Amino acid sequence: MSVDRRQVLKTLSAGMLAGGTLVALPRSAFAQKKLRIGVVVKVLGINYFDVARDGAQEAAKQLGGIEIIYTGPTAATVEQQISVINTLIAQKVDALIISANDASALVPTTKKAMQRGITVLSFDSGVAPEGRVMHVNAPHDDLVGANDVRMISKTLGGQGEVAILSATSQATNQNIWIEKMKEEWKKPDYANLKLVGVVYGDDAADKSYREAQGLMKAHPNLRGIISPTAVGIIGACRAVTDAGMVGKIFVTGHGLPSEMKPNILSGVSQTFQLWNPADLGYAAVTFAAGIARGTLKGTAGTTASIGRLGDMTIEADNDTYLKDLLVFDKSNIEQYAKQF
């Protein structure tokens, strides 16, 4: 935090309100401060994050005076991500918004950033709470994870062998969703739906494809693959299609409608889900700018008005969640494929 900002905060502190509602501070001398915000994704070249970038730029344009630096590693490794973050710290950005490849391993680096006055948020895949101010998340994890199981169960009529093809083994959000899937799986409704394995494609197209091939080889009676990653679900669909198993093995999980449209139309996937990634970028930049400018606090128990997304409440561990979980099938794929 700069000396000037400390002085302004000190001046304003007497007028700030405490309590459960987010305090909208007076538009101060730094409220319109020009900001440079680094948006660091898990790995570059993924359309999901490109859509999130578009939402970040939409928020920056609406708020004014914000430069978005969209960047990330070329491979989904924590080592490369730390290097990218260190570069942004050296460039003295005002805020960082990070989708973590490893929740805990990034903490020393993000703590260093905060010690240098940089506002640090995570989005999509969280940094551990001690390493960021707040986290902007997809819809609630229990809802997302449970619905993954419900979708494949509905497709398979509640019986058959199913495997999970995830991203990296350290990815925060993927691991939470898998945990929530397993909780849902314990219900009597899924007594005849057997989880036979979890593999990781590292958010790489070729590895995801090979892992899906490996699942089919290892489990000859496989009926379904859940892939809660936009890269993995495409790899799984391609592997099933190339193996001539459309109609015998079904794929569901998380994907972009524009990318998944051919797979819905071919029948390799009957249904999948997602939220609008643009909303993640939009919300994260709005929160980051407000906190960096001192107009938002970003603490648990508070609520903020986030532009076109309306009010968003910050919950335990300073996490906030998008509201809309979107489910796609043949009835709506054409409509959403035009949007993202």
Give the count of beta carbons closer than 10 Å to the beta carbon of residue 302: 20
Where in the chain does DSSP place strands (E)? 35-40, 66-71, 95-98, 119-123, 134-137, 160-166, 193-200, 222-227, 250-253, 272-274, 303-305, 311-313, 319-321, 326-328
Q: What is the pLDDT of residue 197?
A: 96
Q: What is the pLDDT of residue 155?
A: 98
Q: What is the pLDDT of residue 339?
A: 85
The region, left, alpha or beta by phi > 0 then psi within -120 to 50, assigned to residue 117 is left
25: nearest Cα among 334, 293, 328, 322: 293
Q: What is the pLDDT of residue 10?
A: 36
Q: For each of the chain's 340 residues, which pLDDT tens digit applies?
A: 333 333 333 333 333 333 333 334 444 444 578 999 999 999 999 999 999 999 999 999 999 999 999 999 999 999 999 999 999 999 999 999 999 999 999 999 999 999 999 999 999 999 999 999 999 999 999 999 999 999 999 999 999 999 999 998 988 889 999 999 999 999 999 999 999 999 999 999 999 999 999 999 999 999 999 999 999 999 999 999 999 999 999 999 999 999 999 999 999 999 999 999 999 999 999 999 999 999 998 899 999 999 999 999 999 999 999 998 999 999 999 999 998 9
